[in-house]
Structure 1
């Protein structure tokens, strides 16, 4: 669907999208193994709840791509040279019997669902008795779900912080919230694919981004014509190219290019002296031009201590442009705003907003840009993600499978075939074994999981609008 043979790469081979040691695993299971069941969960970590998002991208990227005989031949050659055995017969069965698609059933909670720690988000089950090992084989790619889930969760947690300050200090919280955290992370990630997945994960909770890969991903994977928005903004090269002596002319050029009634534009202003720029260049030399333009100027500091710099800039802007008192008793700057994009993480967002509030300023006055802290300063352990086998079928009989290491009880895994039930009254999610009697209590519980993929077919496709609505219903 999204694959073009003319751009084919060795990295597109689905057989090789795994860890090397998995090439040897098909002979390591008990004789007669004809079924396998695994689950994916966050075991906790930084947040006690997480936002389910991104499985659809993984399915369309990797599982919608057929395995071919050429893939098998290449993988066989590489495995031999690499020092691993190779299940040629098994992979040829996938090609010949299953039209090149993994014989798997994948069930998941709806994307956008807020999931308590230790409640499974996804289950994976084999559908061909001769290829049960395929469940564990695809763990490497399936578990990459950790990344969009973690970014979506981090972004959502920041949204809750910002929302609380807007509720306390703003007269217009609802319309402002979606644009209060902007994704600045494209240049700081390891690949365009990372930018696409992480950037789109951010756009579940917010609408502001400078990561174009994210809006492309929204179109391709979630049927969203435009997932996020940006505004004209300066970078240091566009300001410093004028020279220090003409810094004011660089700023004036921004007004003339983008200063239209109702427009918003941002200008980085710390190339030499942020306080001089705010106080004298923007605040004196260009003050009337800013006002007369009818646009909103967003001043961007980009160095120094974020808390100290933001507060001082807010005071200087108030001195030069004035401020109005809103209905909640907090000051809102006239004609100007601030965006802080340096040193931003979930902690500094809270600290900056708290400092502004303490000094009488509404959260209206500030937006945030988050780069590495949003898309790159996370890993699989941030939410303690794991995919574990919990049951196998041997000669037609299901057996529980689990681990319980004496050295780390936190890594104990679940056992048995399971699903997730939702309490019809409270909305609470709980794990239930398929054999458990509570599974049949349909008056109180409903199955919260949906079969999204089976044997090459995407059975449930989510639009980004659905995902956002699901998250908003929880928020």
Structure 2
């Protein structure tokens, strides 16, 4: 649905009547106020701008909105929307300033600032809140979750592996089927690809290519699911595994095989570890064994140790055990940031290197989060009334955590406090990190996917 008039909360339709007489501009900002993380990875604005803000409104859009909103029993600012179509060729007269996407920013800093550019459209700044805030909080939160997962994995690789080689493939996106919509999967999946290069969310690949000019930002491998294994019947489990090796294994190739359809331990001890052992070892590639049930910490450590009994292991330079290159493990059941840390901690206690494991993350990556995960909000901070700017803010006595910022804002690098948000009037000679990326229907700054990824490093 691309009619931006209808991409809003119902009560927004009445707000054009609620500002003080003579209001000509409203300036608002978006920030993560707190929540689970202390740093946010900003991402997603360019996707939204390209999809929703560069397409002109038409009088047909206004007609549709008028009919729906009047039937919906809320006021409709027909004159205001007709003015945008006639005066601005249907392009929204707003300016959006933003940090560079990929910026890793302490919470409680403005990521985006929005202001109307036509004094007759002061109501428009707040009207776009619903769509714009959603376009920011979701991909930024996914990118932030993925980023912090990467820091956990990096820590254990630094402690137990000989290098960080392969880190970018240590967390695979399994989340497409658990996302609410295909659009959510594409947006959230693209956010994950800022940190890792493993994904089974094809929509994410498409989004990164279409909106950020990526060539191929993520990769996958042939992998079995339960239906392709159980279709052979319980007595044909060995043949199912053998077929996976025949079809997909070979020098330099990886193939993942879910192995718990019946008895994981039998599959490891007897099928993989004895009957198919020579085929695995002589393939020249890597078998990735996937458990898919049970308590993750226990299942992962037991799986790795059982594979070591059958396939052997080496001791790396840091004193941790590593499976031979022909076999690895991927755990995708019950994975989130907490369980990743718990599994890697348990592995470390058993002298098992993080080199042995890759994780797949589904619902916890793309779905098990919301706007309150990072307490995102868009708030007005300044209005211009009868030619004079005045501060706008809220400071509820019942929750000072919802206190909002005042005035027109800028984001700077302070040599003592790092990145911080200040009043624009206090900017002085410092560079404002908030750059004008959109104005009056036109994208002014376009970032590539590679440029955004580089901002994280």
* TM-score category, normalised to shorter length: over 0.9
Q: What does the per-residue CA deviation read over 1:263-313, in whole Å, with 9 as the maximum and x for residues that have no partner?
A: 111000000001110111000000001011111000000000000001111
1:14–1:65 Cα contact (<8 Å) kept: no
Displacement of 1:341 in angstroms is 0.1
1:27 corresponding residue in structure 2: 17
Match of 1:285 in 2: 275
**Counterpart residue number, 2:52:** 62
Number of the residue aligned with 1:155:
146
- 2:73: which partner in 1? 83
Q: Which residue of 2 aligns with 1:341?
A: 332
Q: Deviations over 1:368-398 (max 9, x none)?
A: 0000010000000000000000111011110
| The one of 362, 380, 387 aligned to 1:389 | 380
Matches of residues 72-471 of structure 1 in structure 2 within 5 Å?
72-144=62-134, 145-173=136-164, 175-334=165-324, 335-423=326-414, 428-436=418-426, 439-440=427-428, 442=429, 445-471=430-456
In 2, the alpha carbon distance for the partners of 1:74 and 1:106 equals: 27
Q: Given the two structures, how large is their TM-score scaled by the length of structure 1?
A: 0.95
**C-alpha displacement at 1:426, in angstroms?**
6.7
CA contact (8 A) 1:67 1:100 kept: yes
Number of equivalenced pairs:
455
Instruction: Provide the C-alpha distance between the structure 1 equivalents of 2:160 and 2:397, rounded to a whole number of angstroms.
Output: 50
Instruction: Please say which of residues 374-383 and 12-21 is displaced more in the overlay.
Output: 12-21
Tell me how far 1:172 sits from its aligned partner. 2.7
Q: Can you give the 5+ residue segments of structure 2 that lack an aligned partner in the other structure?
A: none
Distance in 2 between residues matched to 1:176 and 1:403, nearest whole Å: 47
SS of corresponding position for 1:65: coil
Q: Give the C-alpha shift of residue 88 in structure 1.
A: 0.8
For 2:417 and 2:174, how far apart are their aligned partners in 1?
A: 35
CA–CA distance in 2 between the matches of 1:66 and 1:271?
A: 53
Shift of the alpha carbon at 1:12?
1.7
Please list every run of 5 or more consecutive structure 1 residues that lacks an aligned counterpart in the other structure: 1-10
Distance 1:448 1:12 in 2: 30
CA offsets, 1:310-366, max 9 Å, x none? 111111100110101111111110121000000000000001111111111110000
Q: Which moved more, 1:163-172 or 1:180-189?
A: 163-172
Distance 1:44 1:61 in 2: 29
Structure 1 residue 427: deviation in Å? 8.6
